[in-house]
Each structure stands twice: as C-alpha cells, then as structure tokens.
Structure 1
Amino acid sequence: MSAPLLTPLVVGLLIALAQAAQQDSGIVNGREAQPHSRPYMVSVQQGNEHICGGFLVSNSFVMTAAHCRERKESLTVLLGAHDISKKKKSIRVKVAKYHVYPAYDADTLENDIMLLQLKTAVQKSKEVQWIPLPKRDKDIKPKTLCSVAGWGAIKSNGAISPRLQEVNVSVVDRKLCQKIWKSPITNRMVCAGGSAGNRGFCQGDSGGPLVCKDTAVGIVSFNEAGNCNTPKKPNVYTQISKYLPWVKCIISSIKCRAEEDRLGIVGGTEAKPHSRPYMASLQEDKIHDCGGILVSEDFVLTAAHCAGQYRIVLGAHSVHSPESTQQVLGISHSYRHPKYNKKNNDLMLLKLDRKANLTSSVQVIPLLKRRPPSGKVCSTAGWGDLDDNDTVPDKLQEVNTTVLGQPDCAQRWRGRARITRSMVCATGQRQFQGFCSGDSGGPLVCDGKAAGTVSFSGQRCGDNRTPDVYMLIPRYIKWIKSILKRG
C-alpha cells in the first residue's frame, strides 16, 4: 500500500511506482450535500490547505485517519464549513495533541485511526455538532446502506471540491472484500462502496466518516490507486467499534493504552485446572484485563503498561465463573519501575491489601536468576485472545514457546522495536503461537521459574517474524527484592 497522498509530488511518485492503494480520499459519483446537514464534518488542514477529512466526536476531539499526519506536521481543523474556500461561519481551531493509535502500521494501514485534541473546546451550534459513535463492538451487516462525505476529488487525480459532497454506499461482505483485495483486510476494517456501485471516495478526504443510521462506524482509510471512477476493489475503512475502549480512554483524558498492549494466548491449549497456581487475573469491573504472577504472599508482578482500577483474582481457572478456589484481593499500592517508558522497563509490582492465603490453587512462583539460553523451551499462559480476532476464553490457556537470542530477535524485528538486554524474546513452535490481546503481565516460565513478563508483540499475534517480547526478570531481581522488602 502507498504512502499518504498529501502533495502533487507524492501523487506523481506513487503513480510512477504503480502502487496498489491510495489514501487521502474524496467523493465520487455523489452529490453536493445540503449546507450544514452534516455539522460534525471537519476539514483537517495544513497551512490553511485541506488535506484530510475528519469528524467531531466531542467538544474537544476530532477523529480522523492516522495516515493524515505521517510527516508530524502541525495541523488545524475547520469546523462548521460547507464551502471551505469561504471563511463565513466557519471556525478554525488549532490542534493541541495528536493521539495516534499506538499499533498503527503505515505500511499495511492497520489501525488507521487518530484523535486530534483541540486547543480550545467548541460550542454546539446549528453548524457545529458532534456525531455519535457505536455503543458496542458489532460488525455492520453486508448490504447495509450507509453514506460517506468529504471535500475530496470527484474523479481520479482531480482537484478537491470546495463544497461538501456526499454519496450513499453499501457495506461489502468482509470475506468477499478479502478475496477481491488479495491482501490483508482485517476484522478491524470494514469495506463499502468502490467497486460496489462505482461510488465512494477519492483523493482528498481520508479520515472522513462512514455513517450508518446517523452513527459514525468507519473512517476513510484506503482505496484502489489511480482508479476512483471505475474501481475494481471496494473502498476500505477503519472500523471504529474495534477501538471503543481506547477512544473512551483518550476522550476521558485518563492514562490509558491500546488494547493491543493487553496480551494473551494464541495457538495454545487449555491448561490443567490450577496447574499454574501463581497466575493472577487483573480485573476491572469484574472483566479480565491483564495477567500477573504472585511473587510473594502480598505482591503481584505484572506489566507497567497495565493501567486500571483493578481487583486481583488468584486461584482462578475460569475468569467468568466464581470458583471456590478463588481469592479476590484489592491493591494498596502500585510500584511501576522508575525507568518505565513505553516498551522499556515494562514492569510493575502491585502491593495487595492483604496477604494471600496460600493453598494448592494459590502459590508463589520462584524467580529465575539467569537469562534462559537460546533454544530453551519454556511456556506462557493467560486468558487472552485465542485467535487474533477478539475471541476471549473463559478458561486459562497455555502454550510452549522457544527462547531466541537477542541478536536473532533484533534482526527479525528489523528496527521496528529496540530489543534491549533487559528483554527476552520467544516464539511458538509453529507459526502463530504465542500471546495476544488480553494477557500482558503474564509469565514466561522456564523450568518452573518466572523468567519474564509479557510485554509486547508484532502486528499479528504469534507471528515468529516479530517474536514475542518479555521483560527479562533476572535483570530486575535487585529492584524486585528492594520493593518486596520495602513492602
């Protein structure tokens, strides 16, 4: 897929390279919208020139596509406009912060979503309103009639339209879309228009909304390069419902992270009940969010990026049903590693509000004191995603994983992540085995001892091209012991 089409120079370069897809899209075979009938519409601009669409989702946030700011340029937004060539009744607001989804991939356009935090909040008026988002994660049924709008070109390689255009489009079945594109169309994308009726978007309006029943369900992401008029492939949008926890987090202005950072098990099997009595489930509102391990009677070790108002459940095999073996405890204090910074030093100790009662189902795990050698077969466990598709299990899952040397791991990541000496990498014994959404903070276990804690992985769970990465516990023994002694 191509880089963003933000200037004529880039357009010419991409055409010369015959890329397969294009972004920053507008409206084809549509009509001029009734002035201010879509008061949520936003023109995202650089140097007072329209580059992308967007839409207002609160009084302080605009949602758009992540690829609309590939070059880290300063942007402004124009609100309340119908004709963006005129300043009448429109409001220009500076962007204070850019919240790009942490797992956004510019090459594949996965997770192509960004929230722009406005420098000043806006007031509702006839011309300025925000649009509702989905209330829960649910796919849009194929053939559903929706609409898309923007100020983009009305034909391939055409100029942008100064007045807002709109067009109705039908949702395309995802499996059919995947077959036509012959490239990854993930469950976080939705297809509509394009080859289905020769209607849709073109250069100039990436980031605009796909609207179904007055709700924004998608974000314009990419289409077939150089062929807006008679495309042979459906248009592709980012599906908003897949990102609701992250969106809520950002808009609420609380410390949060992407659900991609909450990792679990892919390609494994159900563990024997209570065979891993050190496992902890970190739950928010009684819903499992992260994993952890009991390292003393009153401390759980987990990942620093696990941020929530948690309760700790020990002695669980099922996280959905009460069990007589379960113990539910609170947290009296959290100790993040003092040098934690995103993927570095991703460790946290949670002081429990009381000591756990040690039983056959609740036990402390010993910590490994030396780095496990390359080729060592270990294991990991958790209650996370089973198949990289938001399928969350009830029962604890486990999978064997083989330790990689640091140089090999770094080479496979190819600079996309810095692999330090404080990390240990491992891969499944076959492709697509490892951890995934739902179990950050869980353990890498070697010879019955905790060697690491789940930290981060690549775009696809369990892909050995981007090995799973754990924080290497032996590198942190001194820090762990100092906190346990203080506690």
Structure 2
Amino acid sequence: MNFFVVILGFVCALAYGAPYIEYEDYPQAAYVLESLLSDDTRVVNGEPAVRDQFPYQLSLRWANVSGSPSHLCGGTLVTPSMVLTAAHCMLFDYGTYDVVAGLLDRTENTSSTQRRDIETRILHENWPGGNRVARYDIALLKVSSPFILTHSVQLIHLPCQNDIPSGTVVVSGWGYTSSLDNDLPNILQYVEVDLISNEQCADDLNAVLGTTLALDDTMICTNGHQNISSCGGDSGSPLVQDGIQVGIVSWGVVPCGVNIGPSVYTRVSNYTDWIVSKMKLLVVLLGLVCTLAHGAPSVHKIDSPHPAYAKDIEILPSDDSRIIRGQNAVRDQFPYQVSLRWGYITASSHMCGGSIISASVVLTAAHCIDDYGTYAIVAGLLNRLESTSTTQSRGVSRIIVHENWPGGSSVYPWDIALIRVSSPFVFSSSVQPVELPSQGSTTSGDVVVSGWGRTSSSSSALPSVLQYANLEILANTLCANDLVSVLGSSSPLDNTMVCTSGRQRLAVCSGDSGGPLVKDGIQVGIVSWGITPCGNTIAPSVFTRVSSYTNWIEANL
C-alpha cells in the first residue's frame, strides 16, 4: 500500500460526509514491514453498546434540501442546550442539521430518544475550514430547546484546562466497523484503547505516511498498534476517560485499523476555557466538571513530577463500580437532606444537595447558585425521582449567598448560601432539621455524608436512591499534604474548610455539592470541592466548615 489518505472526514475519513483530503504518493516505506493484518470484519475492533451505556453520545444528522436527515457525525451533550462536536462536521452551508440523543440504534425513534434542531453553530474562530487537517477542530451547537435529562440522556463532563490525560480511554460512535463496508452500523459501537504520547504518535505517522502532517500539542492520539481505530462516521464523537471527555474524533489514516496509523483527536483540555467562554455568552453555563456539583468551581491540576506519594503513599486503583464506596440509604435515614433542583427553560432537575436548618431555610453551597434559571427544593426523598406522600416540594422566595463569595469558576472560601423556601416545610418523620455547630468548634473522628452525586467516574448518570458513606475527618495539615501529593499545591485550602480522607477510596462526587457532612446529628460541613476522577487517588474531599459561619447563618435566618 503506497497510497494513504489522512482524513478529517468524508467517505474515506472519520465523518460520514466531511472534508476531502487528496492522496499523497509515498515511496515504499518501513511501515510495510510493521503493518498489522487487516481484520475486515471489525476494523475498529469494537463491540456493540447496550442501552444507556453512553447517555452523553449524540448523533449529528444532516439532510440536503430535498432529503431526510441521516447520520453524519457524533457529538456529546455538555449542557442541556449545548452539543460538543468537531468543526469539520459543519462542512455544509446548505441543507439542515439536527441532533438526536438517547439512541442505541441510530435509526430508532422511541420514547427514550429526543430530537432537536440546531439553532446556533459556533465553530472555533481559528478553524480554517475547507478540506485540510488542522488544529481548532472543535465546535459548539446550541439546540432549539434544551434536552430533558433522563437515564438515556445525560451530560458529559469536561476536563480542566490544559490537563494531559494518559492511560486507557473509550471511544464510541456509529462509524464504520470495516474498511470494506459501505454501510454504517445501526447499533452504537465502542472500544477501549490506549492513549499514546504525541512523540510516539508522530513516529507512527511518519512510519505510515512519511510525514506527521498537522499533528501538534492541541491534539491527542490513540494507539494504532492495537488494530483499533475510529473510522468514517465517528468524527465529532467523544474519547472519554473516567467520565471526562478528553478528545473529539478528528482525523486518522485509512483504511481504518489496517496499519499502525494512530487515530487523532482534538484535545478537549486545550479548549475548556474556550468552551466555557462561548457557553457563558449564550447564558447556558452550568460549570466545569472538576468539582462536585452539576456546575461548580474548577480546580486546575498541577503537574508535579515524581511527587512524594509515588514512594511513600499508595495510589489506590480506580473502582468504577462504586467510587465513593457508599451504599443506599433507607427511608427517613437522613430526613434533613434535600434535593436542590434547577431548571433553565425546561423543568428543573437535581443539581445539588442541601440541608434543612429550620422550617423555612435550607443550607447549601454558594457555588450551587446562579443568577438565571429557576430553583426548587424537594424534601422527604429517598428516590430523587419520586413524588409520594412523604415528599414536600417548595419554591424559593430568597437566596442569600455569603457576601464575600466571589462567584466565578474558581474554588474559594465562603462557599455557603442560605435558601428561604416559599412556604415552611411541615416536619414529619421524613422531613426534619439538622443541628448547627457552635461558632468556632472543631471536629474529628467519623462523620457521614449523603447525596445523590455520581457513584462512578465512568458514568455521567446520577443514582436514583440517596447514597451515604461513613468518612473520617482529616486534619487540615494532613489534608494539605495529600493535596500537594496529588496536585503539587494545597491551594486554596484554608482553615474555613474541613477535609475527609481519600486514602480509603471514599469521596464525594458530581451532584453531591451543597450536601451535608454530619457528626452525631450536627452538620459540620457542606460539600464544596474535590479532585476528579473521584476516588481514584488519595485526594481528600473538601467541605465548607460550618462552624466558621454559624454566627453568619444565625444573623441571616
């Protein structure tokens, strides 16, 4: 094979209808000796997904003026109204685009599927367009009305700006499974594959093509030596690690999976700030994934070479089945726990936790509060989806955020807020207040945290049943040491925060923010921030220390 095509996307590329790249003739090359045997039955070497396995995966469809929409590219849901995909998928200035969520079979139309028209297309301003492989291959699509989040339709999480992932990742999509096929698979496919360094990626591209082409440090590669490859129709689809999208399928070498040519992706972490800035402009930002709420402050990881923990402290492996190692609560076990719901245009859904501190006031985290959308509070829940005789729902009449809370997307002290409900809760066995600590008191020993946050970093779905875990308070000096081991810095930890140990692989996660940390019936902490992926390292979970704000709470009741 002396002729290869490096592609963004058309028939011999990664999108099903995208830019065309001309063949280039290279003399007999070393890669011929290293080429892997073709597996024409399953070039991508993947397997069919099951229902709701990838609830963030979308099908981006296109139709010309007279045709009906058909699959063109993949995409992911980053907010209920925003889709992330590749810029080269937006090739056509004619015809119509739409996007479908909740699919397993790309041809199905069932109660789990939701279709939306595209209202606004935002391609990166430096994307050159045309038929070239280039950087800036990223786009955001605002849909005509927000998707309704369900078991089949969920948000993907974004990495912190400039994070550099490594290890095993998973790619999903409806792209070709064989270089001989002319038909896309009906069932969503996925495969696990290893990331490789860009240096290795460049070597492999040189071996196959005689050039590294447009590869640069805003791209990320997966290993072609495993006979695994994304292929036509996969463009715009997600490359995911521990529930965080690290890449967007961009370009590769065809025939897919027949040689050692790597698959190349847009590195999402190079564009996290860009994504956030564009979403803010469209007033749809919920927040970044690097924290514990559906929409919360980001903690930027610092690359600390050869940290002390590598020798002195064991890094615990990921347990993707139960990262926080929690368990299901039982009815009325945590009668002070509430679900803070938020909605923008659509009906509200769970965003954060909170606790009842009086019949009319709920305590939560300041980072759970935004200045748009609508809020509701539901108490008496075990299953966050239930509406029974034990549940009580209230509107919000007033929100008091600590006056020193700066807002924005960084972690700070003063992460505390009070919410006054529209009418008082009626206390019952399912709805009760939690006690507050004395001003300035300290806590040690065992505590319990509860919430509806994620129980796995590999899934974006929240559990239905309230979870809880018994944790151990970690002194702030030890907490700082563990943060330095993981992040290279203990900032922004201070004495108005309290930590629980991550050494037992116990951690709070996305959706838990604002929830209560309790000891002997007294709330000592409010879930504030942590390190993702949740529970994969010794990183502690960090809470607002309630006793630092008891006087403030009482003054604002």
TM-score interval, normalised by the smaller of the two chains:
0.5 to 0.7
Instruction: Please name the residue that 1:252 is paired with.
Output: 282
Instruction: Please name the residue that 2:173 is paired with.
Output: 140
Instruction: Please name the residue that 1:384 is paired with.
Output: 453
* 1:325-474 aligned within 5 A: 325-341=390-406, 342-344=410-412, 345-369=414-438, 370-374=440-444, 376-388=445-457, 389-414=459-484, 415=489, 417-427=491-501, 430-431=504-505, 433-463=506-536, 465-474=538-547
Instruction: Please name the residue that 2:367 is paired with.
Output: 305
Superposed CA offset, 1:286-313 (max 9, x none):
4211100011111111111113522100
Give the 3 Å change call, closer, same or farther, for CA 145–338 of structure 1 in structure 2. farther
- Mark the runs of 5 or more structure 1 residues left unpaired by the alignment: 1-27, 40-52, 64-75, 86-99, 113-137, 147-167, 184-193
Shift of 1:109: 7.0
Instruction: Please name the residue that 2:237 is paired with.
Output: 217
Question: 3-state SS of the aligned residue for 2:552?
Answer: helix
Question: 3-state SS of the aligned residue for 2:237?
Answer: strand
1:315 matches 2:380? yes
Give the 3 Å change call, closer, same or farther, for CA 104–230 of structure 1 in structure 2. farther
1:476 matches 2:549? yes
CA distance in structure 1 between the partners assigned to 2:494 and 2:396 by the alignment: 30
Shift of 1:394: 1.1
Instruction: Please name the residue that 2:215 is paired with.
Output: 203
Question: 3-state SS of the aligned residue for 2:351?
Answer: strand
CA distance in structure 1 between the partners assigned to 2:380 and 2:437 by the alignment: 22
CA distance in structure 1 between the partners assigned to 2:175 and 2:490 by the alignment: 36
TM-score w.r.t. the length of structure 2 is 0.52
Give the 3 Å change call, closer, same or farther, for CA 263–109 of structure 1 in structure 2. farther
Shift of 1:261: 3.3
Asked if the contact 1:425/1:467 (under 8 Å) is kept, the reply is yes
Shift of 1:411: 1.6
CA distance in structure 1 between the partners assigned to 2:509 and 2:267 by the alignment: 20
1:289 matches 2:351? yes
Superposed CA offset, 1:41-89 (max 9, x none):
xxxxxxxxxxxx96679868445xxxxxxxxxxxx6255566899xxxx
Task: State the one-letter code of the partner of 1:203.
Answer: L
Asked if the contact 2:401/2:417 (under 8 Å) is kept, the reply is yes
Question: 3-state SS of the aligned residue for 2:547?
Answer: helix
Task: State the one-letter code of the partner of 2:472.
Answer: T
Task: State the one-letter code of the partner of 1:427.
Answer: S
Superposed CA offset, 1:234-262 (max 9, x none):
5455689xx9x979953522453124434
Instruction: Please name the residue that 2:326 is paired with.
Output: 268
Superposed CA offset, 1:263-300 (max 9, x none):
49821011121111100101232421110001111111
CA distance in structure 1 between the partners assigned to 2:278 and 2:497 by the alignment: 31
TM-score w.r.t. the length of structure 1 is 0.59
Shift of 1:446: 1.1
Q: 2:335 aligns with which of 266, 277, 296?
A: 277
CA distance in structure 2 between the partners assigned to 1:103 and 1:54 by the alignment: 21
Asked if the contact 1:257/1:305 (under 8 Å) is kept, the reply is no
Question: 3-state SS of the aligned residue for 2:374?
Answer: coil
Asked if the contact 2:354/2:514 (under 8 Å) is kept, the reply is yes
CA distance in structure 1 between the partners assigned to 2:265 and 2:162 by the alignment: 15
Give the 3 Å change call, closer, same or farther, for CA 479–203 of structure 1 in structure 2. same
Superposed CA offset, 1:404-446 (max 9, x none):
1111111211116321111001025722x22111121001111
Task: State the one-letter code of the partner of 2:465.
Answer: K
CA distance in structure 1 between the partners assigned to 2:362 and 2:127 by the alignment: 48
Range with greater deviation from structure 2 (389-398 or 255-264): 255-264
CA distance in structure 1 between the partners assigned to 2:397 and 2:358 by the alignment: 15
* 1:224-239 aligned within 5 A: 231=260, 234-235=263-264
Give the 3 Å change call, closer, same or farther, for CA 456–292 of structure 1 in structure 2. same
| Structure number having the greater strand percentage | 1
Question: 3-state SS of the aligned residue for 1:479?
Answer: helix
Task: State the one-letter code of the partner of 2:508.
Answer: F
CA distance in structure 2 between the partners assigned to 1:412 and 1:429 by the alignment: 9
CA distance in structure 2 between the partners assigned to 1:104 and 1:315 by the alignment: 38
Asked if the contact 1:221/1:238 (under 8 Å) is kept, the reply is no
Root mean square deviation, CA, Å:
4.7
CA distance in structure 2 between the partners assigned to 1:410 and 1:390 by the alignment: 29
1:77 matches 2:126? yes
- Mark the runs of 5 or more structure 2 residues left unpaired by the alignment: 11-16, 21-85, 91-117, 135-156, 198-203, 222-229, 239-246, 253-257, 295-322
CA distance in structure 1 between the partners assigned to 2:341 and 2:468 by the alignment: 19
Task: State the one-letter code of the partner of 1:421.
Answer: N
Give the 3 Å change call, closer, same or farther, for CA 430–214 of structure 1 in structure 2. closer
Question: 3-state SS of the aligned residue for 1:30?
Answer: strand
Superposed CA offset, 1:189-216 (max 9, x none):
xxxxx89x96897524836999965973
CA distance in structure 1 between the partners assigned to 2:357 and 2:213 by the alignment: 54
CA distance in structure 2 between the partners assigned to 1:222 and 1:84 by the alignment: 8
Asked if the contact 2:452/2:465 (under 8 Å) is kept, the reply is yes
Give the 3 Å change call, closer, same or farther, for CA 353–292 of structure 1 in structure 2. same
CA distance in structure 2 between the partners assigned to 1:286 and 1:58 by the alignment: 22
Give the 3 Å change call, closer, same or farther, for CA 272–30 of structure 1 in structure 2. same
CA distance in structure 1 between the partners assigned to 2:361 and 2:515 by the alignment: 14
